[in-house]
Structure 1
Amino acid sequence: MPEKETLAKARRDKRECKSASTQAGEFVHEQIEKVRAGKHGARSAKQAIAIGLSEARRAGVDLPPPKKGKAKESTRKGAQYAHEVGQGERKPVRRPKVARAAADNLKKEPTSTASPAALSRQSKNAASRRTAADRSAAARKGAETKGAAARSAAAKKAAETRARRH
């Protein structure tokens, strides 16, 4: 169950006309924090992201499931189900609460799966599967949704990063 704060952030993103993936990012971020705190087990960064996206769909973010051939059929089915639940087209099946034994087992799971290095590896890997034109278009679209102050802050941050690296 997502926290109230996460739901509020996602709603704010929606009001600001930000994309569904940006809204879903709030849920992914929460999931990563849970893995780092040992409240949730994930064997990889990709799994933590998938759990966050599923939560976002169930919470009503209009994030469509992946297209045929883009993901495993079982993954697509699960995403389709979560999307329908979130859009009110289907009643969710109630699952039993996590028992203490299960919660204790989660504490034994590695927290390094959500480390900055692991997330960086995952995002670089995902970006490498996209074309340069696609990445550039996404960056341009992202810049449009920022205000002047946010654009200026982002430019300053980028300049500082470049200065640090060279």
Structure 2
Amino acid sequence: MPDKKTIEKAKKDKREGKSPTTQAGEFVHDEIEKVRRGKHGARSTKQATAIGLSEARRAGVDLPPPKKRSVKESTRKSAEYAYEVGQGERKPKRSPKVSKAVSEVLEHEPKNTASHEALSRQTKQAASRRTAEERSAAAKKASETKGTAGRSAAARKAVRTKGAAGRKKAAQKAASTRAGRT
């Protein structure tokens, strides 16, 4: 069950006009944090992501299930069920025995599947399946939706977080601009 804070964040995203995938991202992030804190584990980063997406659908995020043949039929059916529950089209059946069994299984799964390294590996793997054109289009769309202030803040953060080399370059650039003004 997602936290109230997570649901609020998703609702805020919806009010701001952000896409359903961005709203669902709040639930995925929450799920990854649960795995990192050791509340339960996950067999893979994909599983942690799938749990988060399922919670998002059940919470009412308008994230339709994947199309036929794009994923396993059982996965699609599960996503369809969660979506219908979230949209109020179906009443969820309570099954405490199954729920307890799933929780116990997840407790014994590894916790390192939500590490920074594992997530980075998964992200790179997913990106490699997309064409350069698709990746470029996604980047352009992201920069457009960020806005001027957002892009500026992201650039400053990039300089800060690039490590010692990035900070050194930033310091040199700042010094050269100061020298040019005087």
Q: TM-score with structure 2 length normalisation?
A: 0.81
Does structure 1 residue 38 correspond to structure 2 residue 38? yes
Aligned residues of 2:65 and 2:79 also touching (Cα < 8 A): yes
Residue 104 (structure 1) shift: 6.8
Structure 2 residue aligned with 1:80: 80
Structure 1, unaligned runs of 5 or more: none
The structure, 1 or 2, with the larger RCO (C-alpha pairs under 8 Å, 6+ apart) is 1
Q: Which letter maps to 1:149? A: A
1:82-107 per-position Cα deviation (integer Å, ceiling 9, x unaligned): 111111111111231765x9767655
Residue 139 (structure 1) shift: 1.8
Higher share in helix: 2
Cα distance in 1, alignment partners of residues 103 and 66 from structure 2: 31
1:146-166 per-position Cα deviation (integer Å, ceiling 9, x unaligned): 232211111222344395499
Moved more, 133-142 or 68-77: 133-142
Q: Which letter maps to 2:91? A: K
Instruction: Summarize the alignment of residues 104-115 of structure 1 with structure 2, pairs less than 5 Å apart.
Output: 106-115=106-115
Structure 2, unaligned runs of 5 or more: 170-182
Cα distance in 2, alignment partners of residues 45 and 138 from structure 1: 22
Cα distance in 1, alignment partners of residues 5 and 127 from structure 2: 29
Does structure 1 residue 93 correspond to structure 2 residue 93? yes
Structure 2 residue aligned with 1:10: 10
Does structure 1 residue 48 correspond to structure 2 residue 74? no
Cα distance in 1, alignment partners of residues 22 and 129 from structure 2: 20
Cα distance in 2, alignment partners of residues 102 and 81 from structure 1: 17
Residue 10 (structure 1) shift: 0.4
Moved more, 32-41 or 54-63: 32-41
Rg larger in 1 or in 2? 2
Structure 2 residue aligned with 1:21: 21
Aligned residues of 1:39 and 1:103 also touching (Cα < 8 A): no
Q: Which letter maps to 2:18? A: K
Structure 2 residue aligned with 1:59: 59
Aligned residues of 1:65 and 1:79 also touching (Cα < 8 A): yes
Q: Which letter maps to 1:129? A: R
Aligned residues of 1:45 and 1:122 also touching (Cα < 8 A): yes
Compute the RMSD of aligned alpha carbons: 2.3
1:14-68 per-position Cα deviation (integer Å, ceiling 9, x unaligned): 1111111110010000000111111122111110000000000000111111112
How many residue pairs are counted as aligned between the two chains? 165
Aligned residues of 1:38 and 1:106 also touching (Cα < 8 A): no
Cα distance in 2, alignment partners of residues 92 and 121 from structure 1: 35
Q: Which letter maps to 2:53? A: L
